[in-house]
Amino acid sequence: MQRKLYKVSVIGCGRWGTFIAKYLSDVGHAVTLYGRAGSSRTEELLSTRRNALMELPAGVALTTSLDDAVKADVLVVSIPSQGLRALLRALSEKPSLPKTLVLCMKGLEIGTGKRLSTVAREELGDRVKVAVWIGPGHVQAFCAGIPNCMVIDSDDEETKRALVDAFSSELIRFYYGQDLTGNEIGAAAKNVVGIAAGFLDGLGVPSLKGALMSRGTHEIARLIGAVGGNPNSAYGLCHLGDYEATLFSPYSHNRAFGEAFARGESFEGLAEGYYTVRALVDLADETGVDLPICRAVEAVLYRGESLSECIKQLFERSLKPEF
């Protein structure tokens, strides 16, 4: 079957946004990449059409105008999750928008605990169909030609299937998501488990990652069920299936952040789990779900509690029944 080709705009010219623009152009779509005027990343792309990881194909247009960016069939957003609502409010002022919004980002809104698709609906209403693009993979690996599997999910079945058919390739095989709530919660929460894995690396006890993975998945499955999703989603690509890329990879920002924190070193990259853990603890308080790993990470990062003591207490729980 011939692939349907779209006019796509990508908002966000960080490593993921730039890769998405390149990838979708390589697949055959007409792509425009938007970056903020004055941003160092935007200026680098405007002057060289490349960053440290890749070069943009000649067919990718670059713009610093949101008015230009919204002239598309599909709008893909890849920015830090806590900046999403402000972006959507700016988009809501545009007289017309693309029919489909794809959120290629993982997180929950601090202060509300809301999923990003919920934020999109609140700000844009029914003006667009909303989908999420989640799952394992690092730009460095994709740029080296190493394939992986990812997920596209949406409450709108037609939108989901159209995107999977249009975006799939030999490099990225997309699966049809079946649980938007569970997939968003699971994808956001895996970054928090990634920070915990980094803690273990920094403390010199990476052998404990096996217990972390087993208990982390079960912990998030309970939360997904409590907020109306399918608990089994935690065992899919949104969460457990993303552990290799998040808990072990040298490219994982969340793991690297946790390791640097444990060693008392600075970290300059974006670690979404740092923000997500606050939202997860709030959800735990609302639902009454026990989230010991998330609470331990939050206590260390935000309450100044001893990392070694929190890890000790966390894994002493193994004296209790496993689940």
Catalytic residue positions, numbered: 190
- Beta-carbon contacts of 137 under 8 Å, excluding residues fewer than 6 positions away, are 148, 150, 172, 245
Residue 54 identity (one-letter amino acid): M
What sign has the CA pseudo-torsion 202, 203, 209, 212? negative
C-alpha dihedral, 203 to 208 to 213 to 214, nearest 10°: -150
Bridge partners (DSSP) listed for residue 131 = 102, 154
Alpha-carbon gap, residue 264 to 267, rounded angstroms: 10
Task: Show the beta-strand stretches assigned E in 142-208.
Answer: 148-154, 172-176
Alpha-carbon gap, residue 250 to 236, rounded angstroms: 22
Alpha-carbon gap, residue 180 to 116, rounded angstroms: 11
Tell me if 183 sits within 8 A of 130, measured CB to CB: no
Ramachandran area for residue 38 (φ above 0: left; ψ -120 to 50: alpha; else beta):
left
Alpha-carbon gap, residue 321 to 289, rounded angstroms: 17
What sign has the CA pseudo-torsion 133, 137, 140, 141? negative
Alpha-carbon gap, residue 111 to 135, rounded angstroms: 25
Q: Could you give the C-alpha distances from 34 to 95, 97, 108, in angstroms and in order?
A: 18, 15, 23
